[in-house]
Amino acid sequence: AQSVTQPDIHITVSEGASLELRCNYSYGATPYLFWYVQSPGQGLQLLLKYFSGDTLVQGIKGFEAEFKRSQSSFNLRKPSVHWSDAAEYFCAVGAGDDKIIFGKGTRLHILP
Amino acid sequence: DTAVSQTPKYLVTQMGNDKSIKCEQNLGHDTMYWYKQDSKKFLKIMFSYNNKELIINETVPNRFSPKSPDKAHLNLHINSLELGDSAVYFCASSQARGLGYTFGSGTRLTVV
């Protein structure tokens, strides 16, 4: 069965520092992989997605993610965070029956 | 012009009542979904419809009944509401599996 693990429930970084949010997936075939962001009281917004091609994917808001098949990982990165990046981040894998399975999320806190 | 709109945004009701949540998308997508987000932010798929046809029906109590009058609308009716139904319900749509979902802003249901 497909699954997604986000090992960090909370991450705190200082404004201007770099960020990496971890994501590991379990899926038998080539996965569709996604990162979504949820600001407080809001819906989820797609940051970026991967299915095939270049394993380094660029997204919106200056985010990028790298697919590493050997490690079953799809970590999200940003070189310099802004206070407005404080939110909940969800990694997700597209399953064979057209549904997306979400990880439990990582809450990002930004220190001024 | 909201792509995926849900109404109402907030819903407070007593146990045992019946309520509906409406969802409409103006993106021309073929597939629509309902997800439930619990108090720990965990997102779990409930249903999906493709062009008015039920595709995914996860292990959801049969008190929950989705209805899709056309491919732009997917409503969720809940009978005999229970305290455990309190959550945020998200509607989403997609055109193809690899493209990800577009989410609505959610309906916060509180059962008292």
End-to-end CA distance of chain B: give it in Å, rounded: 33
- Closest CB from A42, A51, A99 relative to B45: A99
Sign of CA dihedral A10, A11, A12, A16: negative
| pLDDT tens digits for range B67-111 | 999 999 999 999 999 999 999 999 999 987 678 899 999 999 999
User: Burial level of A97, CB count in 10 A (0-12/13-18/19+)?
Assistant: exposed
Q: In the numeric block, which tokens belong to residue B10?
A: 């907030």
Contact B47, B56 (CB under 8 A): yes
Ranges in chain A, pLDDT < 70: 96-97
Task: Give the residue-averaged pLDDT of B20-42.
Answer: 94
B98 touches chain A (CB under 8 A): yes
How many A-B residue pairs are in contact by the CB < 8 A criterion?
Answer: 58
Residue whose token pair is 């270049």: A54
User: Residue B77 and residue B74: Cα distance in Å, rounded?
Assistant: 10
| pLDDT tens digits for range B96-105 | 767 889 999 9
Residue B1: band (very low, low, confident or very high) from pLDDT cuts 50, 70, 90: low
pLDDT at site A65: 98
Are A98 and B40 within 8 A, CB to CB?
Answer: no
User: Residue B97 and residue A76: Cα distance in Å, rounded?
Assistant: 21
